[in-house]
Amino acid sequence: MNGQRVLVVDDEPQILRALRATLRGAGYTVESAETAQGALTAAAAHPPEAVILDLVLPDGNGTDVCRELRSWSDAPVIVLSAVGEEKEKIAALDAGADDYVTKPFSVDELLARLRAVLRRRGAAPEPVIEVGDLRIDIAERVVTVDGRRVKLSPHEFDLLRVLAQNRGKLLTHRALLREVWGPAYEVEAHYLHVYVSHLRRKIEPDPASPRYLLTEPGAGYRLVDPANDDV
Amino acid sequence: MCRVDTWSRRSLVVGVLASIAAVAIVTAVIAVVKQWVPVLSLGVLYVFAVLPIAVVWGLWLALPVSIASMLAFNWFFLPPVHTFTLADSENWFALAVYLATAVVVSELAARARRRAAAAEQRERESALLAELSTELLRGRELGDELGEIGTRAAGVLGVGTAQIELGSERRPPPGTSPYLLEVADRTVGTIYVPAGSDPNVAARHRFLPALAALLAVAVDHDRLEHDALEAEALRRSDLVKTALLRAVSHDLRSPLTGIRTAVGALRNPTLQLSEEDRRELLETIDLDSDRLGRLVGDLLDLSRLEAGGAAPEAEVWSLDDLVREAIDALDARERVELSGEAPLVNVDATQIQRVLANLIENALKFSPPGAHVHVRITATRKEAIVRVVDQGPGLAEDELERVFEPFYRRGSDTRSGAGLGLAIARGFAAANGGRVWAESRPGQGATFALALPVVEVPAELQA
């Protein structure tokens, strides 16, 4: 393991302690903080490669930390949320968080998400993206599934491109609308749902049970490689 | 006017005596005056005998009085004197005048008397209704008032007793006859009067519907109030449920997350855990299981208290001993200073220790690190008071009561447990006949007080 630095922020001492031991065991170097202010101070002192951030902190919320962090750091952020904090979770994702896990989470799931966000972070812009049998040529705007070319409308292509460039990452409705249709369309979620279903019909082997383009209920969409169980 | 009761029987005797006296007096006056005035013109004086009798007793006595007057006049003064024969037809005319006067006057008097009686009756009815409406609408419990209302309605109806039952008609109690209290098509209740008694007809038609309307309003008022109370209770229990869900979401989940993370890490073969990490993970499981256990215990206590199932087993204890035990249970002897008296209280020791431990634990939690919590016991003849004084941030005025609501958290504190400790303290205190309250000004620290009734020490045992 490479000793990548992970900053863990949670005000529950026992959760913090368990996460520290777990992440150390997985080979990461762990920094920790219990407050929003402490998180920003720690991130500034020792810039982390990734941040695991609780949504509810004694002196503020995770969303604010996320937004602040984003203004000077591109370290991926995984949010720890709980049932009942859905609004906060979406707000944090919109503010730049990369993913979330819901408490109580499984250690395997958290470690997989962490690996995924760290891998994406290192990736350089690619002219051609391959996800399973899906091949997207960004420059030529050509998409093939299992070698067979599919015809996509310009918006369908842009939607697939944004998802593919962030593959594995959860993208909120708002973020997708902004990227594909522009900031004025951020609240027009029905556009998105319609185009996602078009896209699924063209790229999914079985559009009724999608394997590439997954729905995160109440949050957004995520493009994954069906063969890779990391995410 | 032909009511035969004790009053009119006595009145009959008095009336007859008065009539005889009246006729005798007028006859005597005429006998004296006739030497100066022609006797025939004096017959009109008998009007003064007939008139008062007609006014006071009515026609039934005025008629005989006028006949008696005429006969007396005839016998004593009209020629031929001392006979009932009339020499002159003018005398017949005089007699007719007396009779007519008697009839007219007594009828007028009777009418006035009837009016006065009716007005008085109405006044009694409306006074009663007005008073009842004030009392009932002021929020007096209708059920408590029915006996009194019945008694007073009996007075208005002119019957001995009356009993009011709300709701639809039931079998009348033996020896009574029922009259329905109805408004529009609704039967509000029934009023039972003694069988055979004859309630004043006019009053029955006028008073009973008004009473029924009033009772209907009062019944509705009672029901609405009851409904409102029930709605309020429901709303509050909804609030409690929402708060409970929130507490479950946060306070049960946090220790669960700690445990699950630690277990997941310990069981994950890909992780390389040091001996130190392994020990820390086990300790997390240990501490968070404790926390879960305490929380579940608190929730159980609270629901038992709310269901009224926390019956105290009272014994006499010295209050300072209970405080000391509570401090020891918290392992907080270093940070708590105890002073004051040692009154005796009759309480469930476990429950009161719990109250004290919760108050002290709360004070410690909000004290700055290293600061002491002061516990002082004072006692009056009736009450012992334990004050737990901290040097924390204190409480705002509007928090003084809210801190005792289940799941209430002070300020932005997210780590102060589920917010059940003070609610439980108050519940156990109340179960033992005591009270718990907060006193504070922001910035001056908070004081939480427990008051318990003291046990009187017999004089021979006092030092």
pLDDT score for A21: 94
Where is the domain boundary, B266, B282, B306?
Answer: B306
Return the amino acid letter for B153: A
Give yes or no for A56 touching B (CB within 8 A). yes
> Chains A and B: how many Cβ contacts under 8 Å?
100
Intra-chain end-to-end CA distance of chain A, in Å: 19
Instruction: Provide the greatest CA pair distance for chain B.
Output: 153
Residue B152 has pLDDT above 70, yes or no: yes
Q: Does A26 touch chain B (CB under 8 A)?
A: yes
> Residue B375's domain spans which residues?
315-461
Residue B281 shares a structural domain with residue B320:
no
Q: What is the pLDDT of residue A221?
A: 92
Q: Is the domain of B440 the same as that of B332?
A: yes
Q: How confident is the model at residue B224 (pLDDT cuts 50, 70, 90)?
A: confident
Query: pLDDT, tens digit, for every residue of A148-172?
Result: 999 999 899 999 999 998 888 889 8
Say whether A105 and B255 touch across the interface (CB within 8 A): no
CA B130 from centroid of its chain's CA atoms: 19
Question: SS3 for B365-392, per residue?
Answer: HCCCCCCCEEEEEEECCCEEEEEEECCC
Q: What is the CATH number of the domain that holds B430?
A: 3.30.565.10
Query: What does the pLDDT read at residue B249?
Result: 66
CA distance B31 to B72: 11
Least confident of B233-242, B253-262, B274-283: B233-242
pLDDT number for residue B462: 62
Token reading at B132: 């009842």
Do B405 and B336 sit in the same domain of this protein? yes
Chain-chain contact of A26 with B270 (C-beta, under 8 angstroms): yes
List all residues 6 or more positions away from B133 whose beta carbon is below 8 Å from its beta carbon.
B214, B217
What's residue B151's pLDDT?
83
Instruction: For B19-30, give the DSSP string.
Output: HHHHHHHHHHHH
Nearest-angstrom CA–CA distance, A165 and A148: 21
- The helix (H) or strand (E) run that includes residue A54 is strand A50-54
Percent with pLDDT over 70 in chain B: 89
Answer whether 0.95 is exceeded by the pTM: no
Q: A78, A102, A103, A110: best mutation site toward chain B, by most B Cβ within 10 Å? A: A103
Is position B123 within any domain?
Answer: no
- Mean pLDDT rounded to a whole number for chain B: 82
Residues B246 and B111 in one domain: no
B379's CB contacts (< 8 A; 6+ apart) are B319, B341, B343, B385, B454
Q: Is the pLDDT of residue B2 over 50?
A: no
pLDDT reading at B365 higher than 90: no
Domain A5-122, CATH number (from 3.40.50.11900, 3.40.50.2300, 3.40.50.12170, 3.30.70.1140): 3.40.50.2300
Report how many domains make up chain B: 3
Low-confidence residues of chain A: pLDDT under 50: 1, 231
Is the pLDDT at B238 greater than 80? The verdict is no
Same domain, B273 and B343: no
Which residues does chain A have within 8 Å of residue B270's beta carbon, measured at their own beta carbons? 26
pLDDT single digits (tens) B278-337: 999 999 999 999 888 888 888 888 788 877 777 888 889 999 999 999 999 888 888 999
> How far, in Å, are A99, B15, B49, B109 from residue B56 at the CA level?
105, 8, 11, 8
Assign residue B278 the CATH number of its domain.
Answer: 1.10.287.130
Count of alpha carbons within 13 angstroms of residue B162, beta-carbon side: 26
Q: Is B376 exposed, middle or buried (0-12, 13-18, 19+ CB in 10 A)?
A: middle
Residue A26: which of B271, B278, B281 has the nearest Cβ?
A: B271
Question: In B, which residues are within 8 Å of A81 by CB distance?
Answer: none
Is the pLDDT at B419 greater than 80, yes or no? no
Of A175, A178, A177, A172, the C-alpha closest to A195 is A177
- Cα distance from B289 to chain A (closest Cα, Å)? 11
Task: Assess if CATH 1.10.10.10 describes domain A128-223.
Answer: yes
Each domain of chain A, given as residue ranges in start order, spans 5-122, 128-223
Query: On the CB side of B94, how many CA atoms lie within 13 Å of its CA?
Result: 24
List residues of chain B with CB under 8 Å from any CB of chain A. Answer: 245-246, 249-250, 253-262, 264-265, 268, 270-274, 277-278, 280-281, 283-284, 287-288, 291, 412-415
pLDDT above 50 (res B383):
yes
Cα–Cα distances (Å) from B225 to B92, B129, B221, in that order, read: 77, 22, 6
Among A2, A8, A11, A17, most B C-beta atoms within 10 A, so best to mutate, is A17
**What letter would DSSP give residue B252?**
I
Residues in A touching B277 (Cβ below 8 Å): 21, 24-25
The complex's ipTM? 0.70
Rounded CA-CA distance B427/A142 in Å is 71
Of B117, B144, B168, the residue that ends a domain is B117
Check pLDDT > 90 for residue B375.
yes
Q: What is the structure's pLDDT at B240? A: 67
Of B257, B280, B414, the CB nearest to A104: B257
Residues B41-95: tens digit of each pLDDT: 787 788 888 888 877 887 788 888 888 888 888 888 877 778 777 666 666 676 6
Contact of B322 with B388, CB cutoff 8 Å: no
Q: Which residues contact A173 (CB under 8 A, 6 or more apart)?
A: A189, A192, A220, A221
- On whether both B425 and B332 belong to a single domain, the answer is yes
User: Between chains, do B257 and A57 touch, taking CB under 8 Å as contact?
Assistant: no
Contacts of A12 in chain B (CB under 8 A): 254, 257-258, 415
What digits encode the pLDDT tens for the residues B169-216?
677 777 788 888 887 777 888 888 887 777 777 777 878 888 888 888
- Chain A positions touching B254 (Cβ under 8 A) are 12, 14-15, 103
Percentage above 90 pLDDT, chain B: 21
Which residue among B250, B257, B281 sits closest to A21, beta carbon to beta carbon?
B281
Under 8 Å CB-to-CB from B108, ≥6 apart: which residues?
A: none
Q: Are residues B347 and B254 in the same domain?
A: no
Which tens digit of pLDDT belongs to each residue from B6-38? 455 667 788 889 989 998 999 999 888 888 888
Long-range contacts of B61-64 (CB under 8 A, 24+ apart): B61/B15, B61/B16, B61/B19, B62/B102, B62/B103, B62/B105, B62/B106, B63/B99, B63/B102, B63/B103, B63/B106, B64/B19
Give the residue from A108, A123, A102 showing the smallest Cα distance to A55: A102
Last residue of a domain, one of B80, B98, B117: B117
What is residue A87's predicted lDDT score, i.e. its pLDDT? 82
- Contact between B250 and A27 using a beta-carbon 8 Å cutoff: no
Tell whether A230 lies on the interface with B, counting CB pairs under 8 A.
no
Domain membership of residue B51 (yes or no) is: yes
- A99, B311, B346, B460 from B315: Cα distances, Å: 59, 13, 5, 20
- B302 and B333 share one domain: no
B32 versus B240: which is more confidently predicted?
A: B32
Query: Mind listing the pLDDT tens digit for each residue in B343-363?
Result: 999 999 889 999 999 999 999
